Structure 1
């Protein structure tokens, strides 16, 4: 049986996480421990409320995050990464490494703001250990 592919893998990924705000939300959850709507609104990038609500809904529908109650019988919700969302960690680390390599002044000094030097160093020298540490922190 000859199987016809539905989508290119790159197109599939872009359909799910192919906009700035979805990646910022995932970054904030993976690296900054953000979990609530209010936490995401405080991001340096200043996401608007309508865009934030839309992206949280899309990430939830795609299975990368899940709404959870902040405490029993509370109407307030928080968001947590699913296993599918946590699997975005290597992708985002690669984006950070790529940006650190190419977003620099002519003398090689990094322009990147926001990525701690120790993170950039560990991406270069101990990527596997860094991944293990970050995954353990997500549990």
Structure 2
């Protein structure tokens, strides 16, 4: 998380959603709140440690709300805040672009 000023709006947005996992977590929470295990299953390949770290960062930014239900066994649900929904809405065109160009992107040799 940056503590200094941003050079433009894209700089600020990339700071908030940067990395491989945050956009995928946002998308997984798009339709309904999820418990931790459900969220982990919805984001294939993410480790428990990384999911915890990303959720904490997203809570700090105000994208995700963590609600603890006091029951036995304990139940914790994660949901998008209004701020998180607004970012998800902004990411939809980027996802559409990725869908349209996925074959081209997959064909690019990486070393």
Aligned to 2:10: 10
Report how many residues are paired.
98
Q: How does 1:45-64 map to 2 (within 5 A)?
A: 45-64=44-63
Q: Secondary structure at the match of 1:104?
A: helix
TM-score normalized by the length of structure 2: 0.77
Which structure has more relative contact order (CA 8 Å, sep 6+)? It is: 2
TM-score normalized by the length of structure 1: 0.63
Q: What is the alpha-carbon distance in structure 2 between the residues aligned to residue 16 and residue 44 of structure 1?
A: 18
Structure 1 residue runs of 4 or more that deviate by more than 3 Å after TM superposition: none
The answer as to whether partners of 1:21 and 1:55 remain within 8 angstroms in 2 is yes
Asked which structure has the greater CA Rg, the reply is: 1
Structure 1 residues not aligned, in runs of 5+: 106-139
Aligned to 1:93: 92
> RMSD of the TM alignment (CA)?
2.0
Structure 2 residues not aligned, in runs of 5+: 105-111
Query: 1:13-58 CA distances to partner (integer Å, 9 max, x unpaired)?
Result: 1111111111110010115x35111012213522101100000000
Query: 1:70-110 CA distances to partner (integer Å, 9 max, x unpaired)?
Result: x4x334211111100010232221122101221137xxxxx
Aligned to 1:40: 39
